[in-house]
Amino acid sequence: MSTTNDADHGFELKKRKKWPIFAAVGVLAVAAFGAKFAFFGDKQSANEIDGATLVIATAEGNASEQALINFVAAEVAPKYGITVEFRGLADSNTINRAVSEGEVAGTIYQHKLWLSQVLESNPDFKEQAATPVFRWGFGLWSDKYSDVSQIPDGGTISLYSDPANEAQGLWLLERAGLITLDPSVDKWSATQADIVANPKNLKFTLLDFGAQSRALPDLDAAVGYTEYYLAAQIPIEKQIFAPAAPDEFAGQLTIGSDWAETDNIKALVEAFKDPAVQQFLATDPTVKGILLPLG
């Protein structure tokens, strides 16, 4: 097994899986939030101010998540008497701290396992999942083969170089019939040590999000998020297996625990539960194949 540095894109516990790290932008964003708090006085959060704009923060440059938040802002939030705005930040640690401290109202990128790892790594963060929102497109990709059965004995498959997404990749490979995981372990936190059968003697290499799609021609297959491959202009036909992800890997609306009972945040949660959100995910071309509806 070979590994690469996952500091830029992996689920290293203080970096978000998806984004390049622009430190200067992150610093400016935090400064801007600080200025907003100073304006309100005594560090009062917008979460508890009637009529304040509720910011949902996620990845800079993540067009699909931005499109979803903008849809909620324009078409759903007014029904619940709130104003919602998208804000792009540079890295997971900045976003999670902003959510925990009430500088933003929430974020939507974290699935169950990732959020648990964030909280374990940062015990000072006060966050909780409020509701599942979407599933990411996630599948097995190959530049050489059109069917899982064609992957050769001794073939090399890439998994993501972070624990949360490595576990999801192993789950998918088991669904594809390529490996068997120990039935006694929690498959949402499984590692390669939990593989009990590997009939094709597959080898696994760990790559980060950007590196994996670039390395696809040199691999027999790779397990990865649809958005990265489409962004790298790899056709969807190269995705040879893509079962629906289970609930454990659904992207959740994550909120600051200290504001969970405020009127603003209660309304925000209801807005993201609105059936119009699932309809948008099912039909809008800006998120098609990348953010999938629940169920």
Domain at 63, CATH number = 3.40.190.10
Q: Which range is least confidently modeled, 51-55, 221-225, 259-263, 285-289?
A: 285-289
Answer whether residue 3 is part of any domain: no
Domain range spanning residue 129? 23-136+248-292
Answer whether residue 258 is part of any domain: yes
Q: What pLDDT band is residue 66 in, cutting at 50, 70 and 90?
A: very high
Domain check: are 162 and 29 in the same one? no
Domain check: are 174 and 90 in the same one? no
Among 7-11, 17-21, 38-42, 256-260, the range of highest mean pLDDT: 256-260
Question: 191-222: buried (b, 16+ CB within 10 Å) or exposed (e) per residue?
Answer: eeebbeeeeeebebbbbbbbbbbebbeebbbb
What's the rounded mean pLDDT across residues 163-169?
Answer: 88
Q: What is the dihedral of CA 175, 179, 185, 191, to 10 degrees?
A: -110
- Is residue 147 within 8 Å of residue 270, measured between CB atoms? no
Domain check: are 40 and 92 in the same one? yes
Domain check: are 226 and 284 in the same one? no
What's the rounded mean pLDDT across residues 32-45?
Answer: 52
Domain check: are 107 and 39 in the same one? yes
Domain check: are 120 and 33 in the same one? yes
Answer whether residue 15 is part of any domain: no
Taking the model in full, what pTM does it have?
Answer: 0.76
Domain check: are 168 and 117 in the same one? no
Tens of pLDDT along 76-135? 999 999 999 999 998 888 999 999 999 999 999 888 888 988 898 999 999 999 999 999
Domain count along the chain: 2
Domain check: are 132 and 268 in the same one? yes
